[in-house]
A and B are shown apart, each in its own frame.
Chain A
Amino acid sequence: MMSSTVLITIISLSLLALISAVILYFIARKFMVFEDPRIDEVQAMLPAANCGGCGFAGCRNFAEALVNAESFDKLICPVGGTEIMGSVANFLGKEAPLVDPAVAVLLCNGTPEFRPRTSVYTGPADCRILHNLYTGETDCGYGCLGKGDCVRACTFDAMYMNAEAGLPVIIDEKCVACGACVKACPRNIIELRKRAKKDRKIYVSCSNCDKGGPARRACKVACIACGKCVKVCKFDAITIENNLAYIDVKKCTFCRKCVTECPTNCILEINFPPRKPSVEVQTEVLSDNPVV
């Protein structure tokens, strides 16, 4: 009696399993999608950060694009850089593009010390909302709002908010130039700049497009578009557009002449050895700039 129950159970369940297996097999055959096996392999080579820095939704999509691409023009993984792109190109038998390593820099230096707070914002801590509402807690309608959208966007822990300065800080070593912060910033004040050796940087740390007077009133370290840097630069690396100076990394030779010339100290020099005291200098330039 007992054994027959067990037997029936075993047989019926086994039959059920068998039928299900057959059905599954046919369904799997019918709905199978052919996928290039190379996609998996390319995906395995990629950093798997899914940061979107390449412009695709994730590493998988990028791998697909790489496999299907005719050439690697404009297909760059900023995280992996030349090395990984090279090995992917090797694997797929294509030409690897040269990736210029880049790093994000913040084009604003308006700490409360230089850029006085003129109002208090009590809405949600979200730069986009603040940007849509008004100029922000200071009178500068271009500079950093300090609510940290970029920090939240960074998937590499390469940014943090310096509460005292009210500005985000980018950690050069961790930054992979994926561009997530650039996209997140509603004021477009984060730029991806080509990395120089020893991570040296010279750039205009301001985004204020106002004329000199209002810009200076809103912030003591604003670019007032006086043009002194343009005159002092022997390499035509500096241009002024929209009342704002811009230093072209490709032309800049890191001579640092513009830094000392700038009357508002809005050109930053970072990761340089201290200047020799003999050269006429304002040595406090470096210490003045908490954003490094």
Chain B
Amino acid sequence: MNNILTVSPSPHAHGKETTQKLMFGVVIALLPALFSSIFYFGYGAVIVTVSSVLSCLIFEFLIQRFIFRKPITITDGSALVTGLLLAFNVPSNLPVFIVVIGSFVAIAIAKMTFGGLGNNPFNPALVGRVFMLISFPVQMTSWPVPAGLNTGYTDAVTGATPLAIIKEGLKNGESLSQLVTQIPTPAQMFLGNMGGSLGEVAAAALLIGFVFLLIRRIITWHIPVSVLGSIFIFTLILWLINPEKYADPLFHLLAGGVLLGAIFMATDYVTSPMNPKSMLIYGIGIGIITVIIRVWGAYPEGVSFAILIMNAFVPLMNAYIKPKRFGEEVKNG
């Protein structure tokens, strides 16, 4: 019996989950949407995605190596997820230099200045995206029309997103029944055959990813369901008031980045609340702000802003909204 024994406090067993596995789970869940966007937008989608992922990884590596001088953790997959999500949020014909600038803002400013993974208050990919949207409004809002695998990169035909069509049309005094011919049918939108950011168009592919995330227990249902539910209810009320002025709920759910935002962006671990009660409030907040921006705001799309705004409330919610602890209220029966 000469073994020197190891001693540590309990528990002596650990589950199989690791940060890396969770992050790669998210990456797997994003793959269907990636494939469908390559299918619709061709080379452009590949170029933008690869440049975004690579530059995110490189920026994270450089900062950890030369500024933090701490162990390098780019293998944990979080920069990979940020890179993918950033690419998913931009048009597929975006010049590479803008993608690189966006990645820099996402990783260096939104993530690493706060101390890296786990400390950033705002979703890095969204900060990068919003930065690009404000700095390069022209490039960021010229949406290539889906044209199949062989679409070129910069010479793609561009058009407006369904949301932009409606916003523009309503501003010009047209009614929805006049505009309906210009927007894709719900079936087309479900499959992703419309203009938009490269990852947000294919609702079907995003939902496959959602199911995977739920089965793999990477996320819980609370945030996506509350975001989608609140958008549905809010737009339903508006639509019932005046169907000529307000688009129907199904359109709002399928158009733009709602699904991508609700499933992948709002559920980002670091920037979402910790307990189910606040997750629901957070989701509902995102839904309402999104609809407000879409219907009354200056931008046709508001998911990114809505998520960033609600991100700001997360620390407050974590501090003040507490789960009901076991044994807190006495209920017998």
Bound: A138/B6 CA distance, A = 12
Judged by a CB distance under 8 angstroms, whether A121 is at the interface is yes
| B4 contacts A121, C-beta separation under 8 Å | no
Minimum CB–CB distance for B7 against chain A, Å:
5
Judged by a CB distance under 8 angstroms, whether A117 is at the interface is yes
Contacts from B to A (Cβ < 8 Å): 4-9
Interface centre among B4, B5, B7, B9 (most CB of A within 10 A): B7
Bound: A137/B4 CA distance, A = 10
| A119 contacts B7, C-beta separation under 8 Å | yes
Minimum CB–CB distance for B3 against chain A, Å:
10
| B5 contacts A119, C-beta separation under 8 Å | yes
Minimum CB–CB distance for B5 against chain A, Å:
5
When distances are taken between beta carbons in the complex, the residues of chain A under 8 Å from B9 are 123, 129, 133
25 A-B pairs with CB atoms under 8 Å apart are: A117-B4, A118-B4, A119-B4, A119-B5, A119-B6, A119-B7, A120-B4, A120-B5, A120-B6, A120-B7, A121-B6, A121-B7, A121-B8, A122-B6, A122-B7, A122-B8, A123-B7, A123-B8, A123-B9, A129-B9, A133-B7, A133-B8, A133-B9, A134-B7, A137-B7
A-B residue pairs, 8 tightest by C-beta: A123-B8, A122-B8, A120-B6, A119-B7, A123-B9, A119-B5, A133-B9, A122-B6
Bound: A119/B5 CA distance, A = 5
When distances are taken between beta carbons in the complex, the residues of chain B under 8 Å from A133 are 7-9
When distances are taken between beta carbons in the complex, the residues of chain B under 8 Å from A117 are 4
Bound: A134/B6 CA distance, A = 12
Bound: A146/B6 CA distance, A = 16
Beyond the given A120-B6, A122-B6, A133-B8, please list 15 additional residue pairs across the A-B interface where CB-CB is below 8 A.
A118-B4, A119-B4, A119-B5, A119-B7, A120-B4, A120-B5, A120-B7, A121-B7, A122-B7, A123-B7, A123-B9, A133-B7, A133-B9, A134-B7, A137-B7
Minimum CB–CB distance for B200 against chain A, Å:
43
When distances are taken between beta carbons in the complex, the residues of chain A under 8 Å from B8 are 121-123, 133
